[in-house]
Structure 1
Amino acid sequence: MNPPSSPSLRIAVMGAGAVGCFYGGMLARAGHAVTLIGRAAHVQAVRAHGLRMDTRQFDEAVAMAASTEAAAVAGADVVLFCVKSPDTETAGAQIRPHLAPGALVLCLQNGVDNADRLRTVLPDHEVAAAVVYVATEMAGPGHLRHHGRGELVIEPAHRSEAVARALIAAGVSAEVSDNVRGALWAKLILNCAYNAMSALGRIVYGELVQQPGATAVMRDVVAECLAVADADGVVVPGDVNLAVRRIAETMPGQYSSTAQDLMRGKPSEIDHLNGYVVQRGDALGVPTPANRTLWTLVKLAERHAAISPPPALPA
Structure 2
Amino acid sequence: MATADEKNLDGGTEAAPLRIAVMGAGAVGCYFGGMLARAGHEVVLIGRPAHVQAIEADGLRLQTRGFDERVRVGASTHVGAVEGASLVLFCVKSTDTEAAAQAMRPHLGADTLLLSLQNGADNAERLRTLLPQPVRAAVVYVATEMAGPGHVLHHGRGELLVEPGRGGDDWAEAFRAAGVPVAISDDVRQALWVKLILNCAYNALSAISQQPYGLLVAGAGVTDVMHLIVRECVAVAAAEGVELPADIDASVLALAGSMPGQRSSTAQDLARGKSTEIDHLNGYVVRRGRQHAIATPVNQTLVTLVHLLESGRGAG
TM over 0.5: yes
Partner of 1:162: 170
SS in 1 for 2:220: coil
Greater mean deviation of Cα atoms: 155-164 or 63-72: 155-164
Q: d(CA) in 1 for partners of 2:168 and 2:210? A: 37
Deviation at 1:161, TM superposition (A): 2.4
Contact 1:160 1:176 in 2 (8 A): no
Q: d(CA) in 1 for partners of 2:16 and 2:234? A: 40
Greater mean deviation of Cα atoms: 194-203 or 236-245: 236-245
Greater mean deviation of Cα atoms: 171-180 or 199-208: 171-180
Partner of 1:148: 156
Runs of 4+ deviating beyond 6 Å: none
Partner of 1:250: 258
Q: d(CA) in 2 for partners of 1:276 and 1:5? A: 44
Q: What residue identity is the alignment partner of 1:191?
A: N
Residue 99 of structure 2 is aligned to residue 90 of structure 1: yes
Contact 1:6 1:165 in 2 (8 A): no
Q: d(CA) in 2 for partners of 1:177 and 1:159? A: 15
Q: What residue identity is the alignment partner of 2:256?
A: A
Contact 1:33 1:64 in 2 (8 A): yes
Partner of 1:48: 57
Partner of 1:63: 72
Q: d(CA) in 2 for partners of 1:23 and 1:55? A: 12
SS in 2 for 1:286: coil
Residue 15 of structure 2 is aligned to residue 39 of structure 1: no
Residue 31 of structure 2 is aligned to residue 13 of structure 1: no
- Give me the TM-score of the superposition, normalised by structure 1: 0.93
Q: What residue identity is the alignment partner of 2:280?
A: H
Which entry has the higher C-alpha Rg, 1 or 2? 2
Q: d(CA) in 1 for partners of 2:246 and 2:24? A: 30
Deviation at 1:234, TM superposition (A): 1.2
User: For 1:30, which of 39, 54, 60 is the aligned residue?
Assistant: 39
Inter-CA distance 165–224: structure 2 relative to 1 (3 Å threshold): same
Deviation at 1:7, TM superposition (A): 4.6
Partner of 1:313: none
Q: What residue identity is the alignment partner of 2:313?
A: A
**Structure 2: tracts of 5 or more residues without a match:** 1-7
Cα RMSD over matched residues?
1.7
SS in 2 for 1:216: helix
Identity of aligned residues (%): 61
Inter-CA distance 246–216: structure 2 relative to 1 (3 Å threshold): same
Inter-CA distance 304–218: structure 2 relative to 1 (3 Å threshold): same
User: For 2:285, which of 277, 294, 303 is the aligned residue?
Assistant: 277
Q: What count of residue pairs does the alignment treat as equivalent? A: 305
Structure 2 counterparts to residues 1-315 of structure 1, below 5 A: 7-122=16-131, 124-159=132-167, 161-237=169-245, 239-306=247-314
Q: d(CA) in 1 for partners of 2:121 and 2:89? A: 16
Deviations 1:183-239 (A, max 9, x none): 111110000000000000000001101000111111111111111000111123463
Deviations 1:48-85 (A, max 9, x none): 11100011111000101111111110111110000011
Deviation at 1:163, TM superposition (A): 3.0
SS in 2 for 1:76: coil
SS in 1 for 2:140: strand
Deviations 1:98-137 (A, max 9, x none): 0012110111110011111111121x21111111111111
Q: d(CA) in 2 for partners of 1:149 and 1:246? A: 15
SS in 2 for 1:306: coil
**Structure 1: tracts of 5 or more residues without a match:** 310-315
- Give me the TM-score of the superposition, normalised by structure 2: 0.93
